[in-house]
Structure 1
Amino acid sequence: MKTAHDLVVEARTRIREVPIADAETAIRESDVLIDVREGDEYHAAHVPGAVNIPRGVLEFKLSGMPEFDSRDLAIVLYCKTGGRAALAAAALREMGYLQVRSIEGGFDAWCAAGLPQTTPSLPDFS
């Protein structure tokens, strides 16, 4: 029986991971940056410019959004440490997306490298 770790290791053999040193360039060259973490993780802090589509609904959301019809879109994905993004990248490759990459080490590596992060501004009701 395979474990989640086994599935991530297997997915990583089928995808392209971007080293954290090249992440900003990959993002600039992409059409979309997707944060596949859960909403609460995204709202705590995220990479500037990222849109949040949690891993659990990614395939369904992309299938229902006309802006994702082109399989030539350059897509960069990330999660907390890279596992969910690797699984998401493998799934998108299976859906026919040709230019999918995930950020190696995820948001944890991004933060450890001192790269910029943002939090959504929420209204002040005080």
Structure 2
Amino acid sequence: MSETTNGAGEGPVGIDELLERVRRGYERIGPGEAYAAAEAGEALLVDIRYAALRERDGEIPGALVVERNELEWRLDPRGSHRVPEATGHEVRVVVICNEGYASSLAAASLHQLGLARATDLVGGFQAWRAAGLPVAS
């Protein structure tokens, strides 16, 4: 693949177009829905923010912390480095970054691993906190 194509025989795309494309592949959810799904045991919240952001802003109680650079290795149900929560491809994963951008790309990557129910949180951690949902310092 050359630097001038995106692998699909098309020219390069900007990040805004890339985000739009990957987000068409799944339904994103808001903070309230993510909280309710996690509380009901229907979703695994996965916080991919870097340690510095978690230390600065706090953490979501009960969320699995997996920094972005390890996400695919930890959530691949067939991977040798998976976390215990990666029990199968049917797990509903809600990826959470700081503002809801990197999480979209991460969710798309999880789809490529067969995690078809993976999604991300619109607005990320900042939207979670703004909604008044639980945050631990």
TM-score range, shorter chain: 0.7 to 0.9
- The alpha carbon displacement at 1:69 in A equals 4.8
Larger radius of gyration between Structure 1 and Structure 2: 2
CA contact under 8 A between 2:37 and 2:43: conserved in structure 1? no
Corresponding residue of 2:9: none
Q: Is the 8 A contact 1:76 1:103 kept in 2?
A: yes
- Structure 1: give runs of 5+ residues left out of the alignment: 120-126
SS of the aligned residue for 1:97 comes to: coil
Whether contact under 8 Å (2:91, 2:117) holds in the other structure is yes
TM-score, normalized by length of structure 2? 0.76
**Does residue 80 of the first structure (1) align with residue 80 of the second (2)?**
no
1:2 is matched with which residue: 8, 13, 30? 13
The yes-or-no answer on 1:50 pairing with 2:63 is: yes
Query: Following the alignment from structure 1 to structure 2, what is the Cα–Cα distance between the partners of residues 35 and 12?
Result: 18
Q: Distance in 1 between matches of 2:32 and 2:88?
A: 28
Mark the CA change 1:107 to 1:8 in structure 2 (over 3 Å): closer, same or farther: same
Shift in alpha-carbon separation, 1:65–1:117, aligned structure 2, 3 A: same
Could you tell me the percent identity over the aligned residues? 28
| 8 Å Cα contact 1:26/1:76 also seen in 2 | no
Q: 2:47 aligns with which of 28, 35, 38?
A: 35
Aligned structure 1 segments of 4 or more residues deviating by more than 6 angstroms: none
Structure-2 change in CA distance of 1:3 and 1:24 (3 Å): same
Aligned to 1:70: 88
Which structure's residues are more often helix, by fraction?
1
TM norm structure 1: 0.82
Equivalent residues, number: 119
Gaps of 5+ in 2: 1-11
